[in-house]
Amino acid sequence: MALETGTYISDLTITNPVSTDGIGQADDHLRLIKKTIKNSFPSITGAVTATQAELNVLDGITSTTAELNKLDGVTWDLTTLNGLTSTVAEINKLDGFTGTAADLNYAADLNATGVTATEYDYLDGVTSSIQTQLDSKANLSGANFTGAVDVNASLTANSLVIDNGANDWSLEITSNVLYFKYAGVSKAKLDTSGNLTVVGNVTAYGTV
């Protein structure tokens, strides 16, 4: 009687024993079958209720045990994945995300408004209402100042333009001396000692 040797089910020869063999080695064949089954399924200690169709779902899976363990505790039906077209790289972008679906919906709504990532980054460092801050700024034209106006001497060319015409008056500070200029030409200066120098006549008690 032909008797193969084997460790796993795949080692069994399906044509053994042949029909002409006697029953003298039947017990050897039975022990071989039991051994290969036990070796092939060493961790099965109870009934397996999965159908062949359910087991076939695993066919071709290349994930590691650690990757499959990430699904431990997942409560949604695996059929939810049916039709999923995302790549592993795309799904991995969610790794570490701790927000809610509402957070993602808010991001989608924000994107729908046309706000770009660059524009959104402009909010970085804002500590109060932007509109309130804008409302507190003086208008470029026709501003009504109700208190003292402090002009920073570090303005461009250390100067303050009084008029915006072609021939404008300006105040300019150079080496702590205040110059009065018209059309860019100095007309008078006042130093830190209070000395006033003018290029023209000085009229006292006149009418302006």
Q: Which domain holds residue 162?
A: 156-198
Any domain includes 166: yes
Could you count the other beta carbons within 10 Å of the beta carbon of residue 165?
Answer: 9
Number of domains the chain is built from:
1
- Is 161 inside a domain boundary? yes
The whole model's pTM is what? 0.37
**Residue 154: its pLDDT value, please?**
45
Domain presence at residue 185: yes
Q: Is residue 99 part of a domain?
A: no
- Does residue 186 sit within a domain? yes
pLDDT of residue 200: 92
Mean pLDDT by 10 residues, the chain (208 residues): 88 89 86 94 93 89 82 71 83 88 89 89 92 86 71 56 68 89 90 95 88
Convert 36-72 into a string of H (helix), E (strand) and C (coil).
HHHHHCCCCCCCCCCCHHHHHCCCCCCCCHHHHHCCC
The answer as to whether 73 is a domain residue is: no
Question: Could you tell me if 172 and 181 are in contact, meaning their C-beta atoms sit under 8 angstroms apart?
Answer: yes
- 187: in domain: yes
Residue 165, in any domain of the structure: yes
